[in-house]
Chains A and B, each alone.
Chain A
Amino acid sequence: MSEVKQTHSEPGWFTRLAHPGLFLGWSRHIVIPLAGLSTIAFAIGLYLAFWGSPADYQMGDTVRMMYVHVPAAWLSQFCYALMFASAIGTLVWRHPMADVSQKAAAPLGALFTALALFTGALWGRPTWGTYWEWDGRMTSTLVLLLIYLGIIALWRAFDDQLKAARIVAVFTLIGAVNIPIIKFSVDWWHTLHQPASVFRLDGPTIAPEILTPLLAMTLAFSLLFMLLHLVRMRTEVRKRRVRSLELAQARAAKGARP
């Protein structure tokens, strides 16, 4: 069943584990448990977020929005870190699964970054009185979203997926170097134009009764992310096989097969 792709086959366990054909085999057994785990985590997290935790004495019930906002923001950065690691895998080891991982992660990163902005805007309205504040954190998240969308556009622009993976990997590395610079410049720009009138998250320490639901929801979102990433990777491996089979079919139909 599994069609062998041409990879440099070192006999290490990791390489064998990450071989596209074998990947489809072992990852199948993880999907259902992971789905179950993330469902349970969401049930616990949502319970803690609404019933198991008190309203904040300053922000009131709006603090409950933090339990979706912070996990989304965390995933927006975690996903870039994942893409960065995969990009290195693509460039250094030229591993096909690193290519697949990069491609599967980009839309998820865009989704969670967009969610972080959406929930951030909704949280900002009652607490700051405005949906959008040009503050450093929000602006850099917006730029991160643009970078994700650019990466998706770059993926879609290529026909040759092998070349696309390596080009996107180069761009992902460039982006990783630039994101801190962008963050710094945006912070500088913000302090220049609006001297200290903004609500800061890092001011008071977070109370434990808020931290518990926060951690539970972050875990739930992370599990969901891993699940979606895994399923998308499996689909992507299959899509590549579909593509090579389609090419073979086209060749056979023309009778030009050797």
Chain B
Amino acid sequence: MIELGQHWEFIALAYGGTALAVLAAIAWTCIDAERTKAHLKVLEAARAARETR
């Protein structure tokens, strides 16, 4: 690991916090996308069932 000098904890916290926030945003975006996709699939199947009836 490289030497970060006397203020390494600030640098680590800045990068760590940013990484955490960005990863959380990515995770949330993916989960939201998948959930919506699944929900849409259910609804479209229901509509198809309604229309063939």
Q: A60-B5, A111-B21, A118-B14 are in contact. Are A252 and B44 (CB under 8 A)?
A: no
Chain B nearest Cβ from A3, distance in angstroms: 9
A125 cross-chain contacts in B, Cβ below 8 A: 10
Q: A61-B5, A68-B15, A246-B43 are in contact. Are A231 and B29 (CB under 8 A)?
A: yes
Mask for B3-47, Cβ within 8 A of A = 1, else 0? 111111011011101100110011001101100110110011011
B14 cross-chain contacts in A, Cβ below 8 A: 65, 68-69, 118-119, 122-123
10 new A-B contacts, CB < 8 A, other than A61-B8, A68-B15, are: A50-B2, A61-B11, A62-B10, A108-B25, A111-B21, A115-B17, A126-B10, A228-B26, A242-B43, A245-B40
Chain B interface size, as a band, is 20 to 34
Which of A84-92, A145-153, A160-168, A232-240 is near enough to bind chain B? A232-240
Q: Interface of A with B (CB < 8 Å)?
A: 1, 50-51, 55, 60-62, 64-65, 68-69, 72, 108, 111, 114-115, 118-119, 122-123, 125-126, 224, 228, 231-232, 234-235, 238-239, 241-242, 245-246, 248-249, 252
Question: Are B40 and A122 in contact (CB-based, < 8 A)?
Answer: no
Q: Interface of B with A (CB < 8 Å)?
A: 2-8, 10-11, 13-15, 17-18, 21-22, 25-26, 29-30, 32-33, 36-37, 39-40, 43-44, 46-47, 50
Q: A60-B5, A231-B29, A232-B29 are in contact. Are A118 and B18 (CB under 8 A)?
A: yes
Question: Are A64 and B11 in contact (CB-based, < 8 A)?
Answer: yes
A119's nearest neighbour on chain B, judged by CB, is B14
Question: Are A62 and B11 in contact (CB-based, < 8 A)?
Answer: yes
At the interface, is chain B mostly helix, strand, loop or mixed? helix
A119 cross-chain contacts in B, Cβ below 8 A: 14, 17-18
Q: What is the bound-complex CA distance between A241 and B44, given in angstroms?
A: 10
Chain B nearest Cβ from A1, distance in angstroms: 8
Q: A62-B10, A65-B11, A228-B29 are in contact. Are A238 and B2 (CB under 8 A)?
A: no
A1 cross-chain contacts in B, Cβ below 8 A: 44
Question: Are A61 and B17 in contact (CB-based, < 8 A)?
Answer: no
Question: Are B10 and A122 in contact (CB-based, < 8 A)?
Answer: yes
Chain A nearest Cβ from B22, distance in angstroms: 7
Chain B nearest Cβ from A108, distance in angstroms: 7
Question: Are A115 and B21 in contact (CB-based, < 8 A)?
Answer: yes
